């Protein structure tokens, strides 16, 4: 069991590792060696990574893959994806190729509004608060002028500040609901700095307001923070083609395939258990690009799932229909992203990923990431309604199993060929591997 430790963050990196090894590692030397194996030889680069967070002891690698051939609005894109799940990049590549031959992906930004809120408690007459807000509103914009100056020059800034009475949800609870345009920045720091300045002025002005009673003057600012629920920062991506252009897919003719596909999406719309997995498949594509481009995948996840529940029950983020002989499949997803600021100019692989994407604006990145999500969902649903998911998944997972077994390059090549037309299961690979080893002994 670990000993409690004081002032841990002040220790040197080596002291931290020593403490860790002493308290947690089964084999001290092995554990330290593993950590050190992942240090970058370039001390400057390692220092950069060390300083991203507190108490860095090593780097945690994820593969960075690329999926080429994404035809989006008639322009080709190569999409970088950082992800550990074996089949995701392969599925993206397949879906890209499939739709490349059928007109590609089309996208549209539906909105780019970001949101932040000052949450406060007010004990008193709501109509007095309303008149106070009307009077003080220009001062709230004024209080943020130095923060918003650069953003305003480029066409962004605070769009609206609205007083919202939330007392029906919670006694004495009100908020300043603010909307922002943050252009190419994700804008978290910008929004939070604006909100804190707004809150400070709002509270100070309330104290000086002669119409308020002493109790009313005493507005309590509980917190000022952006919201990751951004239902008006949304992008739509779609694919469509004539039914007859869909593949003969295994045992399904194009019409049967389209009908079954639409039914599968309808099931995800009707049934939350399926919707969660369906949307998880979408997020396989979304998160991989979000990570590769240095964006905040937790924010994207939280916002996407809240959006999926906006009707009151959790539903699919994608939709499918057949109309006048045309199969159409689309996604609408909120994506608050940045292509400047944050990690984008710091992490060398993030910089390179953005270069792979031709240095997109935040709007362009929203469209690319929505496509990555739609493509991933298409690939998953297509597999599910035809071969089943395991065939493709296990094909990609085979390498992981062989690596776990310590297979040589020769043995890996042998098993890739061996399983070309056979069903792969974990136990079956172990058995075949052991049989091969026994034969060779
Ligand atoms: C696995 O990571 C994702 C899927 O389960 C998605 C889905 O079921 O649609 C295959």
DSSP secondary structure, 59-124, as one string: -----EEEEEEEEETTEEEEEEEE---TTHHHHHHHHHHHHHTTT-BEEEE----EEEEEEEE--S
Tens of pLDDT, residue by residue over 126-185, are 999 999 999 999 999 999 999 999 999 999 999 999 999 999 999 999 999 999 999 999
Residue 281 CA to ligand 1 centre (angstroms): 4
Tens of pLDDT, residue by residue over 92-107, are 999 999 999 999 999 9
Ligand 1 pocket check: which of 280, 317, 391 to mutate, most ligand atoms within 8 Å of Cβ?
Answer: 280
| Ligand 1 residue neighbourhood (C-beta within 6 Å) | 85, 277-278, 280-281, 284, 380-381, 384, 389
Tens of pLDDT, residue by residue over 21-74, are 999 999 999 999 999 999 999 999 999 999 999 999 999 999 999 999 999 999
pLDDT value, residue 32: 98
Based on the residue annotation, tell me whether 393 is a catalytic residue of this protein: yes
Class of domain 64-109+237-387: alpha beta
Instruction: Flag whether pLDDT at 11 surpasses 70.
Output: yes
Work out which ligand 1 atom sits closest to the CA atom of 268: 9
pLDDT band at 250 (very low <50, low <70, confident <90, very high): low
Round to whole Å and give the CA distance between 259 and 323.
Answer: 11
Ligand 1 pocket check: which of 277, 284, 317, 395 to mutate, most ligand atoms within 8 Å of Cβ?
Answer: 277
Round to whole Å and give the CA distance between 60 and 39.
Answer: 9
Instruction: Flag whether pLDDT at 249 surpasses 70.
Output: no
pLDDT value, residue 67: 98
pLDDT value, residue 342: 87
Instruction: Flag whether pLDDT at 206 surpasses 90.
Output: yes
Q: The tokens of 210 are what?
A: 């002669």
Instruction: Flag whether pLDDT at 205 surpasses 90.
Output: yes
Round to whole Å and give the CA distance between 42 and 45.
Answer: 5
Instruction: Flag whether pLDDT at 267 surpasses 90.
Output: yes
Task: Say what the pTM is.
Answer: 0.93
Residue 323 CA to ligand 1 centre (angstroms): 27
Based on the residue annotation, tell me whether 296 is a catalytic residue of this protein: yes
Catalytic-labelled residue, pool 16, 18, 28, 85: 85
What are the residue boundaries of the structural domains of the chain, listed by start? Answer: 12-50, 64-109+237-387, 114-227, 393-440
Query: Do 64-109+237-387 and 114-227 show the same overall fold?
Result: no
User: Which residue's C-alpha comes closest to atom 7 of ligand 1?
Assistant: 278
**Angle (nearest 5°) at CA 423 between 250 and 395:** 85
Total count of residues recorded for the chain:
441
Closest CA to 212 of 222, 198, 202, 226: 202
pLDDT band at 2 (very low <50, low <70, confident <90, very high): confident
What is the chain's mean pLDDT, rounded? 96
Say if strands 157-165 and 326-334 run parallel, antiparallel, or are unpaired. Answer: unpaired
Tens of pLDDT, residue by residue over 318-334, are 999 999 999 999 999 99
Residue 305 CA to ligand 1 centre (angstroms): 16
Query: Taking residues 217-225, what's their average pLDDT?
Result: 98
Catalytic-labelled residue, pool 50, 184, 249, 296: 296
**β-sheet bridge partners, residue 321:** 328
pLDDT value, residue 396: 81
Query: Taking residues 257-267, what's their average pLDDT?
Result: 97
Ligand 1 pocket check: which of 278, 317, 373, 385 to mutate, most ligand atoms within 8 Å of Cβ?
Answer: 278
Based on the residue annotation, tell me whether 207 is a catalytic residue of this protein: no
Q: Which residues contact 250 (CB under 8 A, 6 or more apart)?
A: 386, 387
Residue 131 CA to ligand 1 centre (angstroms): 52
Based on the residue annotation, tell me whether 387 is a catalytic residue of this protein: no
Fill in the DSSP letter of residue 11. Answer: S
pLDDT value, residue 126: 98
Residue 135 CA to ligand 1 centre (angstroms): 53
- Tokens 């991203």 sit on residue: 52
Query: Taking residues 239-262, what's their average pLDDT?
Result: 91
Tens of pLDDT, residue by residue over 376-405, are 999 999 999 998 888 877 888 899 899 999
Per-residue buried b or exposed e for 74-89, using 16+ beta carbons within 10 Å of the residue's own CB: eeebebbbbbeebbbb
Query: Taking residues 408-423, what's their average pLDDT?
Result: 91
Fold of 114-227: Alpha-Beta Plaits (3.30.70)
Instruction: Flag whether pLDDT at 350 surpasses 70.
Output: yes
Instruction: Flag whether pLDDT at 441 surpasses 70.
Output: no
Measured CA to CA in angstroms, residue 438 lies from 429, 432, 433 at distances of 14, 10, 9
């Amino acid at each position: 069991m670990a000993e409690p430790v004081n002032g841990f963050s002040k220790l040197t990196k080596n002291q931290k590792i020593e403490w860790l090894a002493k308290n947690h590692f089964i084999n001290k030397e092995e554990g330290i060696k593993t950590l050190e194996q992942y240090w970058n030889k370039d001390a400057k680069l390692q220092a950069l990574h060390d300083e991203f967070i507190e108490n860095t002891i090593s780097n945690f690698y994820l593969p960075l893959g690329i999926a080429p051939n994404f035809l989006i609005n008639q322009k080709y894109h190569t999409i970088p994806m950082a992800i550990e799940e074996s089949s995701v990049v392969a599925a993206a590549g397949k879906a890209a190729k499939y739709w490349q031959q059928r007109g590609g992906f089309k996208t549209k930004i539906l909105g780019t509004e970001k949101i932040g809120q000052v949450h406060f408690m007010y004990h008193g007459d709501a109509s007095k608060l309303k008149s106070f807000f009307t009077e003080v509103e220009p001062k709230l914009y004024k209080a943020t002028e130095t923060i918003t100056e650069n953003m305003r020059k480029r066409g962004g800034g605070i769009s609206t500040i609205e007083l919202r009475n939330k007392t029906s949800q919670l006694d004495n609870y009100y908020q300043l609901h603010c909307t922002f345009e943050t252009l190419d920045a994700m804008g978290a720091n910008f929004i939070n700095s604006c909100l804190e300045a707004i809150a400070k002025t709002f509270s100070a002005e309330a104290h000086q307001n002669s119409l308020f009673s002493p109790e009313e003057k005493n507005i309590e600012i509980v917190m000022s923070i952006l919201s990751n629920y951004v239902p008006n920062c949304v992008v739509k991506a779609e694919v469509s083609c004539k039914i007859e252009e869909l593949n003969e897919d295994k045992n399904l003719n194009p019409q049967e395939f389209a009908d079954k596909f639409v039914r599968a999406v309808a099931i995800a719309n009707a049934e939350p258990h399926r919707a969660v997995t369906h949307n998880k498949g979408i997020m396989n594509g979304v998160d991989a690009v979000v990570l590769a481009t240095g964006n905040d995948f937790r924010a994207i996840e939280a916002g996407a799932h809240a959006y999926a529940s906006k009707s009151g029950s959790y539903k699919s983020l994608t939709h499918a229909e057949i109309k006048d002989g045309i199969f159409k499949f689309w996604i609408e997803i909120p994506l608050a992203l940045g292509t400047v600021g944050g990690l984008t100019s710091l992490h060398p692989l993030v910089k390179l990923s953005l270069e792979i994407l031709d240095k997109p604006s935040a709007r362009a990145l929203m469209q690319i990431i929505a496509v990555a999500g739609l493509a991933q969902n298409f690939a998953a649903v297509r597999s599910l309604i035809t071969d089943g998911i395991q065939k493709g998944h296990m094909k990609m997972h085979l390498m992981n199993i062989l690596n776990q077994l310590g297979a040589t390059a020769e043995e890996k090549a042998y098993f890739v060929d061996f399983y070309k037309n056979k069903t792969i299961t974990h136990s079956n690979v172990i058995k075949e591997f052991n049989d091969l080893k026994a034969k060779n002994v």
